[in-house]
């Protein structure tokens, strides 16, 4: 039995129970009258009671159609298209046995009265309520010619004549004649046996006569009648709710909605049998209630139940999908922790065939791209065809590829196919720092500027001390400081960077590297000291002074020769008694003064006179009052500014040009 059937049975059986309870309450008076009728004896039958009655019993006792005619020797009933003797009544299985009354006990050649099987289906003229309980029928046919080679039908010699040949057969459950010759026709039929009595098929006529003399069983309404209707309803319900391949969903809905019609017809017939009355409003109201419950049941079964299952499956799917998405996101993040090698076709797809150019650098062009899946925006730098490309490419991948810091730009991937090389970085939507600090309008507040300087210092300090190998950038300048969406600075462009052990205090270098204006003196002449991480400190100091003043350190368009070299001008302003602001008419801001002092400490000529980047961070995190003025840098002497500055600037330029060659 399916789960749907169990669900429907439990709900509808509960509904029918309450409806039956209401019927019984409404009919209490009539029922008490029926149950008050005494039992009686009829012939050799004892303790006969409802639904049977005797002639002359009160109207409320028994069913009129089950009236018995009683004599001392027998009990007869006259409602089966003739007169039958009632030989036994069983209240256990609600059956009574009858035999045709005109069959004598000595006759050995019997033929039932001519009638059809439907005449046995009712005692009181109400079909489909009181039916037979037998399973075997005896079917008689009359032929004008003898049958030949037909093993199904057995001849009845005692009933046959020279012109009429009678045959009989037994049929299990189906009371109809079939498979006989054209000269034959149906004659009559009779049921055989009942509960506990099985008649074999293909029995001989003498065996059939033995069963005919014992009679056959008929069912009668069980006590109260309504229970029989409920049993009939359950049988019909089970049949209509079993799965069927021949009916569609619309037919199934109609079957379920109209399944109770038989039950209510049965209830009305039983009430009529017992001559009981109920209020006229009861049946319409109960039928309406039943239809409402049916509608709710159909709605639950065919709408709400599938919808619930669908929602459950959707919930399971999305829960699984979220888990898969979380795993995929984790795997993507793990993949992004180390640079990925891309094919050149991937690079063209990411950049949409290099359609969105962000800028042009000394070593190639930069394009905007999108990585799938995830729609991750990236910046793709295509390296040009110069002799430094291989060295810069190796330097970028070897250094930035192992770095993960909030203030260092991340290398997402790279491409190297023959001479085509590309570096894929995370995209910085706010571009580089130089377009903000050299703008005609002040872009950042002093607090924001101090925060940016602190972020840059932390990024450089991480390169110097946070990795397994010390990384010296050698090209710290505003153009190589990128800003993300929240203006968090990130150190970028590691084409000139070098790796060295942390315990090494100097780095062997065959040629100067860097950008004019930011390159440390020891990169030009070893007489100033050895090349080390302090070279990045010098470049950071020059960057810091440019961030404060909003101008480049060497300005050929300055108003006087004393202002051409910007650090010298800053130092003079800080050491004069009437200290003023650098580029305005108001007093110098505290953060402005602090940034200038830190910058001057970083650009000391000798590397041992400069602080480390960790010390620079401490100075930027503290206040200006705690800082001391550094010694005057050698380039800041007024008498030597034009000559020395010019000499070292030209020397730097020549060195860089020699390296490029």
Distance CA 597, CA 545 (A): 9
Three-state SS sequence of 159-205? HCCCCCEEEEEEEECCCCCCCCCCCEEEEEEEEEECCCCCCCCCCCH
Structure tokens at 84: 């039958």
Peptide linkage before 492 cis (omega within 30 of 0): no
* Per-residue exposure over 392-408, b if at least 16 CB sit within 10 Å of its own CB, e if not: bbebbbebbbbbebebb
Q: Which residues are catalytic?
A: 475
The count of C-alpha atoms lying within 13 angstroms of the C-alpha of 49, restricted to the half-sphere facing its C-beta, is: 14
Please identify which residue in the block is written with the tokens 């910007």. Answer: 566
Dig out the tokens for 228 from the structure: 């029989």
β-strand 489-491 against 95-100: which pairing, if any? unpaired
d(CA 168, CA 55): 38
- Rounded Cα–Cα distance for residues 546 and 541 (Å): 9
Helix (H, G, I), strand (E, B) or coil at 403: coil
The 411-417 sheet, strands edge to edge: 340-341, 411-417, 420-426, 376-383, 364-371, 357-361
**Other CB atoms within 10 Å distance of the CB of residue 555:** 14
Residue 61 exposure: Cα atoms within 13 Å on the Cβ side: 15
Rounded to an integer, what distance in angstroms lies between the CA atom of residue 7 and that of residue 382?
70
Check the CA dihedral 17-18-23-26 and report its sign: positive
ω before 373 within 30° of 0 (cis)? yes
611 Cβ contact list (under 8 Å, min separation 6): 537, 601, 602, 619
381 labeled binding residue? yes
Residue 617 CA to residue 501 CA, distance in Å, equals 22
Direct distance between the N- and C-terminal alpha carbons of the chain, in angstroms, rounded to an integer: 92
Helix, strand, or coil (residue 154): strand
Query: What are the distances in angstroms from CA 204 to CA 169, 171, 201?
Result: 8, 12, 9
- Side-chain-facing half-sphere of 597: CA atoms under 13 Å: 20
Q: HEC profile for 477-497? A: CHHHEEECCCCCEEECCCCCC
Contact of 414 with 423, CB cutoff 8 Å: yes
Q: Which of 451, 464, 482, 499 is nearest to 614 (CA)?
A: 464
Beta bridge partner(s), residue 85:
76, 99
H helices of 378-445, where? 389-399, 434-437
Tokens at 505, concatenated: 């205090």
With CA atoms as reference, report the closest residue to 575 among 620, 617, 636.
636
Annotated binding site: 381
Annotated binding site for ATP: 381
């Amino acid at each position: 039995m399916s789960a749907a059937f169990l669900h429907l049975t439990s709900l509808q059986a509960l509904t029918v129970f309450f409806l039956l309870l209401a019927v019984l309450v409404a009919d209490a008076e009539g029922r008490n009258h029926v149950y008050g009728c005494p039992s009686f004896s009829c012939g050799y039958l004892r303790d006969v009671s409802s639904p049977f009655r005797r002639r002359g019993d009160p109207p409320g006792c028994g069913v009129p159609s089950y009236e018995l005619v009683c004599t001392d020797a027998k009990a007869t009933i006259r409602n089966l298209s003739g007169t039958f003797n009632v030989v036994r009544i069983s209240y256990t299985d609600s059956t009574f046995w009858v035999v045709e009354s005109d069959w004598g006990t000595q006759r050995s050649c019997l033929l039932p009265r001519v009638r059809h099987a439907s005449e046995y289906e009712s005692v009181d003229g109400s079909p489909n309520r009181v039916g037979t309980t037998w399973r075997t029928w005896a079917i008689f046919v009359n032929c004008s010619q003898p049958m030949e080679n037909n093993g199904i039908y057995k001849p009845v010699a005692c009933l046959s004549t020279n012109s009429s040949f009678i045959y009989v057969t037994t049929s299990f459950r189906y009371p109809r004649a079939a498979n006989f010759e054209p000269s034959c026709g149906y004659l009559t039929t009779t049921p055989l046996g009942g509960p506990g009595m099985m008649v074999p098929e293909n029995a001989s006529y003498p065996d059939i006569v033995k069963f005919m003399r014992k009679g056959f069983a008929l069912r009668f309404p069980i006590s109260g009648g309504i229970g029989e209707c409920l049993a009939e309803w359950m049988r019909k319900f089970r049949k209509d709710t079993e799965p069927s391949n021949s009916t569609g969903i619309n037919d199934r809905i109609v079957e379920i909605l109209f399944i109770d019609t038989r039950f209510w017809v049965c209830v009305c017939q039983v009430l009529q049998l017992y001559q009981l009355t109920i209020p006229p409003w009861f049946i319409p109201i109960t039928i309406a209630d039943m239809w409402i419950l049916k509608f709710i049941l159909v709605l639950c079964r065919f709408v709400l139940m599938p919808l619930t299952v669908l929602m459950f499956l959707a919930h399971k799917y999305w829960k699984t999908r979220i888990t898969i998405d979380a795993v995929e996101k984790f795997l993507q993040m793990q993949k992004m922790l180390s640079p990925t090698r891309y094919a050149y076709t991937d690079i063209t797809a990411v950049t949409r065939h290099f359609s969105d150019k962000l800028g042009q650098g000394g070593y190639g062009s930069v394009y905007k791209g999108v990585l799938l899946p995830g729609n991750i925006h990236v910046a793709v730098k295509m390296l040009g065809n110069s002799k430094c490309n291989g060295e810069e490419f190796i330097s970028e991948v070897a250094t930035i590829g192992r770095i993960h810091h909030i203030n260092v730009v991340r290398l997402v991937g790279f491409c190297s196919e023959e001479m085509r090389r590309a570096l894929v970085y995370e995209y910085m939507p706010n571009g580089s720092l130089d377009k903000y600090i050299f703008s005609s309008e002040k872009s950042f507040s002093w607090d924001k500027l101090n925060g940016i300087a602190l972020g840059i210092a932390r990024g450089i300090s991480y390169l110097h001390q946070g990795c397994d190998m010390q990384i010296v950038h050698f090209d710290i300048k505003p153009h190589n400081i990128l800003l993300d969406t929240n203006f968090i600075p990130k150190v970028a462009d590691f084409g000139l960077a070098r790796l060295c052990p942390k315990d090494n205090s100097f780095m062997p270098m065959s040629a100067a590297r860097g950008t004019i204006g930011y390159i440390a003196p020891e990169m030009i002449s070893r007489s100033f000291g050895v090349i080390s991480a302090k070279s990045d400190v010098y470049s950071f100091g020059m960057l810091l002074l440019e961030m404060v003043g909003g101008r480049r350190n060497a300005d050929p368009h300055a108003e006087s020769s004393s202002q051409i070299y910007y650090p010298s001008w800053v130092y003079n302003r800080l050491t004069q008694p009437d200290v003023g602001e650098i580029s305005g008419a108001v007093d110098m801001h505290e953060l402005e003064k602090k940034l200038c002092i830190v910058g001057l400490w970083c650009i000391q000529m000798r590397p041992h006179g400069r602080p480390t980047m960790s010390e620079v961070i401490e100075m930027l995190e503290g206040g200006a009052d705690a800082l001391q003025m550094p010694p005057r840098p050698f380039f800041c002497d007024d008498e030597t500014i034009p000559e020395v500055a010019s000499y070292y600037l030209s020397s730097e330029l020549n060195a860089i040009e020699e390296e490029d060659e």
